[in-house]
Amino acid sequence: MAELFAAGEWISEGERLEVRSPFDGCLVDSTPQSTPELCDRALAFAEAGAKRFRKTSSYERSGWLARAALLLKERSEDFARTITAEEGKTLAESRAEVGRAVETLTLSGEEAKRIAGRCVPIDGAPDSRGRLAFTVRVPCGVVVAITPFNFPLNLVAHKVGPAIAAGNSVILKPASATPLTALKLVRLLLDAGVTPDAIQCLVGSGGEIGERLCSDPRVRKISFTGSVDVGNSICKTAGAKRVTMELGGNSPLLVMEDADINLVVKAAVVTGFGNAGQTCISTQRILADRRVLGDLLDALAPAVKAIPSGDPTSDGVKMGPMVRPEEAERVASWIAEAKQRGAKLVVGGERSGSMHEPTLLTDVPADSKVLKEELFGPAVVVGAFSSIEEALAEANSTPFGLSAGIFTRDLATSLRFIEGMEAGNLHINWAPGWRADLMPYGGLKMSGFGKEGPAYAVEAMSEEKTVVFHPID
């Protein structure tokens, strides 16, 4: 049975949280749930540990993370099977996630060596003769990392890796649906040489454990990935702390008249239905020029219908279940609402337990939830536009702004899209659901603030001091 790691020790006692397979409901494992008392112990340990851990060298921290990356590569199949068992994505998707996490830890280790201040050109100020100014970067101290279920390894690595690289003590709070992968990563980090000062992992309700951690004055930095509602609550609770918020999206894909329809279909299938649509940058809305709408639907509908779904451990399956039956039921209810308002169901729409068919909708009324909110499920809405201005207005009509894509061969149209699209990540001739782990990643509007990607996260998880040498003559 799984154990928690807090205050420098593995803990097996306490009320246990069951982790069940999203596909068939079978028990995968269980883990102790954190108590308020354990949270307090963890915070005290992290506060003391941060003072010790900040004295480690960048060279040491870089070495630990590099060894962690090598160990993860060696244990990749075990991690992949754990991800599939508790999250439900296919084994191919889980193996790809492990590969990305290896890269994320490697990058974090490399960035540990690049933490540097900068020279300040103080001689550009009046009365500056004889003075020298520069900055130094120091760790924040105690970092709380709260991660979602949909990438239970790589999104943990994106927070824990940079936090350790920057010299912080981090308390990890993974999603209650997927704690097992995170706990395995903590064990791996300790095996790689990371000291217990630097890492702890608590499991429990976000409303209880998360709020207790985020409100504590000993915490200096919070990094959160999740829903807008929870993110807003954390910001209100946090007070004067440094925060990074990745709060989801409702990503549009624009298809211009000159687009390569076959490439559009390929991108839409991969990014709209990967991980059963449970990705923040999943393609949720496709907006097509009216002159190519028919051709697009003719090509896209059979491709979506042909997506093999089912047991995520079976060869050939491309889409597994959603994380819980309740989530699949929610998606089905949103689709039913759109149909009642006049939307046309092109493909799919059926649900059984946690499995929801890959679904395609058209003629969806503007105020439907599947258009205006984050669906986080395996359905894509297709609409039409007559001009790039109309397309941008529709694409920007939601409060989200995480990622967007456009297919066009025209440079001027691409530049108009770059200028007018309100999203933090823009893709030309690919769909929104693409991310390189080294790039700056984050959203605009209600999709949050701050950037992830190891180089940018290390900067966000460290603070800057300005030093001025004054003449004594």
Active site residues: 246, 280
- For residue 156, what are the CA distances in angstroms to 42, 83, 234? 18, 12, 18
Residue 314 near residue 411 (C-beta atoms within 8 A): no
Task: Compute the distance between CA of residue 140 and CA of residue 439 in angstroms, rounded to an integer.
Answer: 22
Q: Of 68, 201, 65, which is closest to residue 144 (Cα–Cα)?
A: 201
Integer angstrom CA distances of residue 394 from 101, 366, 410, 446: 35, 9, 20, 16
Secondary structure (DSSP) of 101-147:
HHHHHHHHHHHHTT----EE-GGGSTT-TT-EEEEEEEE-SEEEEE-
CB neighbourhood size of 461 (10 A): 27
CA distance 369 to 373: 5
Residue with tokens 């354990």: 38
Task: Give the Cβ contact number of residue 470 at 10 Å.
Answer: 9
DSSP 8-state secondary structure symbol assigned to residue 277: G
CB within 8 Å of 33: residues ≥ 6 apart: 14, 15, 16, 17, 203, 204, 205
Note the maximum CA span of the chain: 82
